[in-house]
């Protein structure tokens, strides 16, 4: 196995718990599965009065007193879902798949699918109903200016390591085809992109990647981040920005991502998702069933640890109840 394929294999194990990739297109009428709510769920979100979630094999869910599966136009694993408002939303996943909903998750349409790329998109963010970006493995980066109807790829060489920049420059002069092939594997995985309070973007990913953009992702400035392991998620709160990653590593910035302090946690499980509970606390979930509260003064408290499962996401439903989800589907988190 090549180094590039090994990197993607590790990413897939962490995020999908050793499940197999399947093809991107399927018959919508056959996509409803009775046990889907107990299968792998990879992301969930709430906006206005709409709660949606996505998971393996193209599973799509909405919340209506409980989590209900909706017909899906794909069988590609879906890794992330984003709602601009209570109606407009996008979901992304394997095979460079992008789905779009205009009715709050009741129905979805394919906007892009490229199985030949064999790479997953990991996040999607729209700034308004027309303009958005989607990011993924090996520096995959797409931009849409028409609500997702068309997507144009971008290559962000400014996020390469210096030695890779020099290597590509030499290669381009010698072998154009090999240059293009190598270029598609040298950037780190882009795992998450969020908008900061000052409208800048923060993107985190593999190999300690943390970068900011002041122009909606057209150009990026790599940050001097104190950790060189993979970073999987970021959470923007009123009292700071949190970034989480491998082996229980958690970092916080209180000055707009200029400097970072590590928060010591009593666990070494990879952290996958987080929820702002209130002005004083966030709640994080991760592998080995970890659920942990982190207070803004830096103190932490274990909430629970669910044996035999990995937790990937945590969110609220339309009634304010908290749900965690991962390798065994949705679990309501009972409040004290």
- The DSSP-derived string for 133-153 is EEEEGGG-EEEESSTTSS-EE
**Can you tell me the distance from the alpha carbon of 46 to that of 82, in angstroms, rounded to the nearest whole number?**
9
User: What pLDDT, on the 0 to 100 scale, is given for residue 168?
Assistant: 85
Using alpha carbons, select from 44, 231, 218 the residue that is nearest to residue 133.
218
**Can you tell me the distance from the alpha carbon of 263 to that of 254, in angstroms, rounded to the nearest whole number?**
13
**Can you tell me the distance from the alpha carbon of 242 to that of 240, in angstroms, rounded to the nearest whole number?**
7
**Can you tell me the distance from the alpha carbon of 63 to that of 48, in angstroms, rounded to the nearest whole number?**
12
Name residues whose C-beta falls within 8 Å of residue 208's C-beta, 6 or more positions apart in sequence.
225, 227, 228, 229, 230, 231
Name residues whose C-beta falls within 8 Å of residue 254's C-beta, 6 or more positions apart in sequence.
239, 240
Beta bridge partners of 134: 124, 142
User: What pLDDT, on the 0 to 100 scale, is given for residue 32?
Assistant: 78
Contact present, 165 and 151 (Cβ < 8 Å): no
Q: Which residue has the tokens 């932490």?
A: 300
In the three-class reduction of DSSP (H, G, I as helix; E, B as strand; rest coil), residue 322 is classed as strand
Percent of the chain at pLDDT exceeding 70: 90
Q: Sheet holding 50-55: strands in order across?
A: 41-47, 50-55, 60-63, 67-70
Whole-number CA gyration radius for the chain: 19
**Can you tell me the distance from the alpha carbon of 326 to that of 55, in angstroms, rounded to the nearest whole number?**
9
Low pLDDT (below 50) residues in the chain: 1-26, 29-30
**Can you tell me the distance from the alpha carbon of 43 to that of 332, in angstroms, rounded to the nearest whole number?**
15
Q: What are phi and psi of 233, to 5 degrees?
A: -155, 160
User: What pLDDT, on the 0 to 100 scale, is given for residue 27?
Assistant: 53
Q: What are phi and psi of 173, to 5 degrees?
A: -75, -20
User: What pLDDT, on the 0 to 100 scale, is given for residue 287?
Assistant: 98
**Can you tell me the distance from the alpha carbon of 190 to that of 185, in angstroms, rounded to the nearest whole number?**
12
**Can you tell me the distance from the alpha carbon of 118 to that of 186, in angstroms, rounded to the nearest whole number?**
16
**Can you tell me the distance from the alpha carbon of 205 to that of 228, in angstroms, rounded to the nearest whole number?**
10
What is the number of other CB atoms lying within 10 angstroms of the CB of residue 267?
18
């Amino acid at each position: 196995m090549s180094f590039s394929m090994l990197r993607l294999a590790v990413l897939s194990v962490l995020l999908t718990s050793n499940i197999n990739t399947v093809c991107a297109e399927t018959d919508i009428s056959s996509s409803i599965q009775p046990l889907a709510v107990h299968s792998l769920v990879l992301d969930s979100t709430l906006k206005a009065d709409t709660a949606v979630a996505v998971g393996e094999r193209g599973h799509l869910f909405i919340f209506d007193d409980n989590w209900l599966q909706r017909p899906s136009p794909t069988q590609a694993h879906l890794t992330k879902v984003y709602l601009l408002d209570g109606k407009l939303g996008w979901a992304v996943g394997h095979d460079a798949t992008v789905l779009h909903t205009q009715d709050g998750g009741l129905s979805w349409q394919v906007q892009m699918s490229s199985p030949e790329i064999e790479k997953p998109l990991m996040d999607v963010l729209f700034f308004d109903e027309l303009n958005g970006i989607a990011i993924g493995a090996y520096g995959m980066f797409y931009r849409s200016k028409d609500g997702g109807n068309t997507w144009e790829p971008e290559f962000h060489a400014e996020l390469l390591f210096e030695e890779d920049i020099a290597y590509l420059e030499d290669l381009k002069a010698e072998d154009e085809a090999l240059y293009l092939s190598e270029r598609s594997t040298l950037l780190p995985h882009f795992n998450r992109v969020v908008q900061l309070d000052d409208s800048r973007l923060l993107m985190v990913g593999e190999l300690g990647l943390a970068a900011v953009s002041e122009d909606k992702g057209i150009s990026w400035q790599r940050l001097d981040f104190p950790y060189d392991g993979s970073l999987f998620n970021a959470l923007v709160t009123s009292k700071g920005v949190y970034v989480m990653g491998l082996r229980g590593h958690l970092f916080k910035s209180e000055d707009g991502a200029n400097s970072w302090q590590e928060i010591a946690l009593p666990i070494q499980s990879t952290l996958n998702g987080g929820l702002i509970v209130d002005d004083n606390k966030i709640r994080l979930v991760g592998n080995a069933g970890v659920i942990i509260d982190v207070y803004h003064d830096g103190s932490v408290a274990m909430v629970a640890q669910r044996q035999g499962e990995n937790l990937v996401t945590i969110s609220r439903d339309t009634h304010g109840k908290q749900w965690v989800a991962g390798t065994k589907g949705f679990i309501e988190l009972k409040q004290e």
